[in-house]
Chain A
Amino acid sequence: MADSGEYEGDDDGSVRELCANGACMKAAEVEAKLDEGNIQEAESSLREGLSLNFEEARALLGRLEYQRGNVEGALRVFDGIDLHAAIQRLQPSFSEKSASKKCRSRSDSHVSVSQHAASLVLEAIYLKSKSLQKLGRLTEAANECKSVLDAVERIFQQGIPDAQVDNRLQETVSRAVELLPELWKQVGCDHDAVAAYRRALLSQWNLDNECCARIQKRFAVFLLHSGVEAGPPSLGSQVEGSYVPKNNLEEAILLLLILMKKYHLGKIKWDPAVMEHLTYALSLCSQTSILAKQLEEIMPGVFLRSDRWNALALCYSAIGHNDAALNLLRKSLHKHERPNDLMALLLAAKICCEDCHLAAEGIQYARTALSNAQGKDEHLKGVGLRMLGLCLGRHAKVSSSDYERSRLQSEALKSLDGAITFENNNADLFFDLGVRYAEQRNLSTALRYAKQYIDATGGSVLKGWKLLALVLSAQQRFSEAEVVTDAALDETTKWEQGPILRLKAKLKIAQALPMDAIETYRYLLALVQAQRKSFGPLRSLSQIEDDKVNEFQVWHGLANLYSGLSHWKDVAICMGKARELKAYSAEMLHTEGKNWNFILTYEISNLNLHLLHAWKVTSLASFNELEDLYVYVMSTGVMHEECGQTHEALRAYINALLIEPSYVPCKVLVGSLFSKLGPKALPVARSLLSDALRIEPTNRKAWYYLGLVHKDDGRIADAADCFQAASMLEESDPIESFSSIA
């Protein structure tokens, strides 16, 4: 409160007075004396007029000076009192203290007597501290303020009695508790500030809820943002079995959560800043699920409900719960809520573009976002276009007709090309465009974007290297692709090299260098094993996901390679090593798929065909990853097929298809099998292969088998077209599908 301003306002007729012991004096009389610099006279007139003792008169004078904004004058008045001696007098002596335990009633009366006196002295010291603060003498102010708290602790050794505490005394104490950490902060003594905050919050000061909440909030903000590591609280404050924060973030989050709880219990008013600080802290820790819980607990009416839904959607999306996020966004984008909220639209579009069954919905969101990216939000036009392009491209994969698909694909490319005119420096766009063009086998353009992506990211993203290598492999420039993988290996650390090594092995196979490929696979396997042993539990989830090499795929690739070479002896050696791993892994690993693949390798080496039986006894649930299961089941089918057991093979393939109806490689295999089963099966084969091509138009095997079907059915021209497509695609076939990196 601005003292001087208020002071001038008293001309409105209300006369300010000094009152004590039932008598009153006009303030102006005393002030006149003070203005003449005559403190003694002012003091003695007060003592006479109001029958006060020296200290009381001084305290009153100090308050008067302070209130009219004359803080220097107030200081002069207070300097005349020996406040510390007064405190000494107020302290209970040892004998009294021990007596107080025996005789409670006596000590109570003592407390009530001393409360008034204590209030007088403590208020004087407090005002002195405030005066010093206003004069910028902050260290002195902090020391005075601290002495108020020290005095309170010495005078009231049992804590302040909450039942009959003098109001004014309590107010002074609360203010001093609140002021001290702020003073230390202003001085720049951060560790004193931390100590003062903890003292405020851990000792018994009988603070009211709002005051305590203010201190808790300020301390939380200080812990979050000051950059001063506070260190854990002292042992003295720790209670057995209670949670003790061990660093700044933990302590800040604890305090903010407590504040939220107090609000839920109706103890304090809503403070939007608390929620914002908590959002900041928890999102930095990537603990948005806890944030979501907090948001859900807030009573309706605090937030606009669409705001809350959007915030919740962000929380869920951040932890990968995109279904929940999308449902919330659908609510907030409802036409009666806020259908034009750009952030919600873009997030919804992004979630939808990852799932081909949602892509159509995503197209709508992206279009709405585009039309709303205006004015100050115009900079988001490029993002809208990018999302539109991605959703269109994804939707094309499930389109029902060729015409529809090619329309969607060209629209998708148009949107992405449009996006790049808005965001010519957005690396992610280069990548999207690269993949899109590569999938359409426009390899030279894809190559340009892949290079641009590597440039823009400084080669820092693994998938950029993979894209470049794949595009080059599709151009049949294998040795250049290998140069790229080698460069990528230089730019990555050992743990991240798995995916690149796998590519490299495949490139070796493509160049008919199987022994080099085997060498690369060996290295890869060694890496996988070392990785598993060295990873502690505390690596972040994303880090593990990023670096993970699918061990199953490694074994699968190696098995293929060996069986292709008919090097059964080498297979046996490899199998022996794998057997060791199996025994070892039974306790350690959960990747059942790997074990099964071991059996697969083993079976191949012995040309033993009891695989199907082995598969039957395995519960499907024991496979951690469905993908591994398809590969496994399909391999089973391949085994049977090679041994002429068509029906057995078919059964395995169909099992795989039942698990994932749109799994293209399996559709193609089943189609090819049917094509061999005689004329009656040809229509089935044709429909399966066409279906596979609908999902993946660039599958050259599907084109090839479709050509065979047409040929057997006597449609020679169609067959020729299919074979031509297959051969053209073969010339532009990457060693791994482009969609594997997108």
Chain B
Amino acid sequence: MSDTKAETAYKSLSSILTNTPPSSQNPASSLLYDPEISSQVSALLRHPNSGAGDDNLCRWLYDTFQSSDPQLQLVVVRFLPMIAGVYLSRVTLRKPLAGFEAVLLALYSHETTSRKGQSLTVNVPDLSHPSIYHESKAPSKNNATDLNLAVISPSLEPHGTVRSTRRARIVGVALELYYSKIPQMPVGSKIEFCEFCQAWAGQDGDMRKDGNGGDEVINQKEGISKEGRIPLPWELLQPVLRVLGHCLLGSNKKNKELYEAACCASRSLYARSLHDINPNAILATGSLVRLAKMGLDSQNDQVDHTEVPWTRVISL
């Protein structure tokens, strides 16, 4: 049944895109991974008049997400960086953006339902209590650990419209959903995300780059304007930083382009945190920047401890 859903979605997208892609054996997977389709959808989303209430693509994204087919939902989530990026940068222009908002609200309410509106918390461990990974001799007063309960995502209320004071939260929660699906996201989507981080930061992070080779990179990146700068309250910045952490450190540097985009985004957001003099953000982004730098420095001289040492005499 989901195949037919995917086929329907594939067909209706074909009618929206300019270059109709040939029909596919595995429509759900093509929608998610086909670079040709992605680039066409991205181009449409970036179009200056996109995102209005009557935008066909937004309607398609909304309908596709509401199909409640997990594979198809991934397709919509895949385009979240682009949707959120264009949307947040364009909010200040007072353009009609109801199409984008409908998609974002759909993602938000999906997350609200699946979490039953509950907040996400972290119980920061206290090492004086024994854990599965360590022993402790301290007398264990039972369950005194909940002193360090941290709320990483507050409870969710249902929203039928995007009220502007809740905009950052709604996008932030949509990004939490994106983060939970991130292992399935194609690299292109993550790169788009990193590029929007830079735009949102509105700071040329490369100015912060230490030492050699900096000039060259600055010239390359001059194209990124400060136009996209948006307010970055913690409820938006925190999920952004979680996604960025994955882009930078989660994928084993398999993809050089993504890694570099993530490095640039980290530097930009670090610079922005300094501009905002936001201590929490300075700590988080600063550590990302330093970890990226450590990664580059230690790329060549890392000892592989799983390697068998070379010996002159081979014995039993």
Chain A interface residues toward B at CB < 8 A? 1, 3, 6-7, 10, 14-20, 24, 27, 52, 56, 59-60, 63-64, 66-67, 120, 126-127, 130, 175, 178-179, 182, 185-186, 190, 201-202, 211, 214, 216, 221, 224-229, 233, 237-239, 241-247, 249-250, 253-255, 257-258, 261, 272-273, 276-277, 279-280, 282-288, 290-291, 311, 313-315, 317-318, 325, 342-343, 346-347, 350, 376-380, 382-383, 387, 423, 425-428, 455-462, 490-493, 495-496, 536, 538-540, 542-543
Closest to A538 in B: B119
Number of interface residues of B (CB under 8 A): 92
Contacting A at CB under 8 A, from B252-307, are 252, 271, 274-277, 279-284, 286-288, 290-291, 294, 304-307
Extra contacts besides A202-B133, A276-B290, A287-B122 (4): CB < 8 Å: A186-B252, A255-B133, A273-B291, A343-B282
For the complex formed, measure the closest distance between the CB of B28 and the CB atoms of chain A, giving whole angstroms.
Answer: 19
In the assembled complex, B234 has its CB within 8 A of some CB on chain A: yes
Bound Cα distance from A216 to B152, whole angstroms: 23
By the criterion CB–CB under 8 Å, are A461 and B314 in contact?
Answer: no
By the criterion CB–CB under 8 Å, are A347 and B279 in contact?
Answer: yes
In the assembled complex, B116 has its CB within 8 A of some CB on chain A: no
By the criterion CB–CB under 8 Å, are B283 and A379 in contact?
Answer: no
Q: What 7 A-B pairs come out closest when comparing CB atoms? A: A225-B250, A227-B182, A285-B150, A458-B91, A318-B279, A243-B131, A459-B164
Please, which residues of chain A bring their CB within 8 A of the CB of B166? 492-493
For the complex formed, measure the closest distance between the CB of A256 and the CB atoms of chain B, giving whole angstroms.
Answer: 10
In the assembled complex, B49 has its CB within 8 A of some CB on chain A: no
Bound Cα distance from A272 to B294, whole angstroms: 9
In the assembled complex, B208 has its CB within 8 A of some CB on chain A: yes
Known: A59-B316, A379-B204. A211 touches B305 (CB 8 A): yes
Sampled A-B contacts (7; CB under 8 Å)? A17-B312, A67-B308, A227-B180, A287-B122, A346-B277, A461-B231, A538-B119
Known: A178-B305, A284-B242. A460 touches B154 (CB 8 A): no
In the assembled complex, B92 has its CB within 8 A of some CB on chain A: yes
Contact of B152 (CB < 8 Å), options: A285, A288, A315, A342? A285
Please, which residues of chain A bring their CB within 8 A of the CB of B142? 241
Closest to A460 in B: B164
Closest to A188 in B: B183
Contacting A at CB under 8 A, from B121-167, are 121-127, 129-134, 140, 142, 145, 148, 150-152, 154-155, 157, 159, 163-167
Closest to B210 in A: A376
By the criterion CB–CB under 8 Å, are A460 and B167 in contact?
Answer: yes
Please, which residues of chain A bring their CB within 8 A of the CB of B231? 427, 456-458, 460-461
By the criterion CB–CB under 8 Å, are A214 and B291 in contact?
Answer: no
By the criterion CB–CB under 8 Å, are A175 and B305 in contact?
Answer: yes
By the criterion CB–CB under 8 Å, are B132 and A202 in contact?
Answer: yes
By the criterion CB–CB under 8 Å, are A247 and B308 in contact?
Answer: no
For the complex formed, measure the closest distance between the CB of A214 and the CB atoms of chain B, giving whole angstroms.
Answer: 6
Known: A228-B183, A257-B125. A64 touches B287 (CB 8 A): no
For the complex formed, measure the closest distance between the CB of B66 and the CB atoms of chain A, giving whole angstroms.
Answer: 24
Bound Cα distance from A342 to B91, whole angstroms: 33
In the assembled complex, B229 has its CB within 8 A of some CB on chain A: yes
Bound Cα distance from A425 to B231, whole angstroms: 10
By the criterion CB–CB under 8 Å, are B315 and A18 in contact?
Answer: yes
Please, which residues of chain A bring their CB within 8 A of the CB of B133? 201-202, 216, 254-255, 258
Closest to B248 in A: A225
By the criterion CB–CB under 8 Å, are B283 and A14 in contact?
Answer: no
Known: A16-B314, A214-B305. A317 touches B279 (CB 8 A): yes
Please, which residues of chain B bring their CB within 8 A of the CB of A343? 274, 282
By the criterion CB–CB under 8 Å, are B245 and A225 in contact?
Answer: yes
Closest to B142 in A: A241
Please, which residues of chain B bring their CB within 8 A of the CB of A285? 122, 124, 150, 152
Bound Cα distance from A1 to B302, whole angstroms: 10
Chain A CB within 10 A, most for which of B92, B130, B227, B281: B92
Chain B interface residues toward A at CB < 8 A? 91-92, 94, 118-119, 121-127, 129-134, 140, 142, 145, 148, 150-152, 154-155, 157, 159, 163-168, 179-180, 182-183, 202-204, 207-210, 214, 226-227, 229, 231, 233-234, 238, 241-242, 245-246, 248-250, 252, 271, 274-277, 279-284, 286-288, 290-291, 294, 304-316
Bound Cα distance from A255 to B183, whole angstroms: 22
Known: A224-B249, A280-B288, A538-B121. A1 touches B307 (CB 8 A): yes
Please, which residues of chain B bring their CB within 8 A of the CB of A273? 291, 294
Known: A283-B287, A376-B214, A455-B92. A249 touches B234 (CB 8 A): no
Please, which residues of chain A bring their CB within 8 A of the CB of B179? 227
For the complex formed, measure the closest distance between the CB of B225 and the CB atoms of chain A, giving whole angstroms.
Answer: 10
Please, which residues of chain A bring their CB within 8 A of the CB of B155? 536, 538-539
For the complex formed, measure the closest distance between the CB of B75 and the CB atoms of chain A, giving whole angstroms.
Answer: 18
Bound Cα distance from A557 to B43, whole angstroms: 54
By the criterion CB–CB under 8 Å, are B294 and A14 in contact?
Answer: no
Bound Cα distance from A52 to B316, whole angstroms: 10
Closest to A544 in B: B154
For the complex formed, measure the closest distance between the CB of A275 and the CB atoms of chain B, giving whole angstroms.
Answer: 8
Closest to B250 in A: A225
Please, which residues of chain B bring their CB within 8 A of the CB of A377? 207
Known: A317-B279, A490-B163, A493-B163. A244 touches B287 (CB 8 A): no
Known: A1-B310, A428-B276. A233 touches B132 (CB 8 A): yes
Contact of A243 (CB < 8 Å), options: B125, B287, B308? B125
By the criterion CB–CB under 8 Å, are B207 and A379 in contact?
Answer: yes
Please, which residues of chain B bring their CB within 8 A of the CB of A245? 125, 131-132
Known: A67-B314, A460-B168. A280 touches B150 (CB 8 A): no
By the criterion CB–CB under 8 Å, are B150 and A286 in contact?
Answer: yes
For the complex formed, measure the closest distance between the CB of B270 and the CB atoms of chain A, giving whole angstroms.
Answer: 10
For the complex formed, measure the closest distance between the CB of A546 and the CB atoms of chain B, giving whole angstroms.
Answer: 9
By the criterion CB–CB under 8 Å, are A242 and B131 in contact?
Answer: yes
Known: A20-B316, A284-B238. A491 touches B249 (CB 8 A): no
Known: A243-B129, A379-B207, A490-B163. A539 touches B154 (CB 8 A): yes
Please, which residues of chain A bring their CB within 8 A of the CB of B209? 376
For the complex formed, measure the closest distance between the CB of A492 and the CB atoms of chain B, giving whole angstroms.
Answer: 5
Bound Cα distance from A383 to B274, whole angstroms: 8
For the complex formed, measure the closest distance between the CB of A382 and the CB atoms of chain B, giving whole angstroms.
Answer: 8
Contact of B279 (CB < 8 Å), options: A126, A178, A233, A315? A315
Please, which residues of chain B bring their CB within 8 A of the CB of A250? 122-125
Please, which residues of chain B bring their CB within 8 A of the CB of A284? 152, 238, 241-242, 284
Bound Cα distance from A455 to B227, whole angstroms: 13
Please, which residues of chain B bring their CB within 8 A of the CB of A490? 163
Please, which residues of chain A bring their CB within 8 A of the CB of B315? 18-20, 60
Bound Cα distance from A233 to B132, whole angstroms: 9
Closest to B283 in A: A283
Bound Cα distance from A502 to B87, whole angstroms: 32
By the criterion CB–CB under 8 Å, are B312 and A16 in contact?
Answer: yes
By the criterion CB–CB under 8 Å, are A318 and B308 in contact?
Answer: no
Please, which residues of chain B bring their CB within 8 A of the CB of A244? 131-132
For the complex formed, measure the closest distance between the CB of B162 and the CB atoms of chain A, giving whole angstroms.
Answer: 9
Please, which residues of chain B bring their CB within 8 A of the CB of A18? 313-315
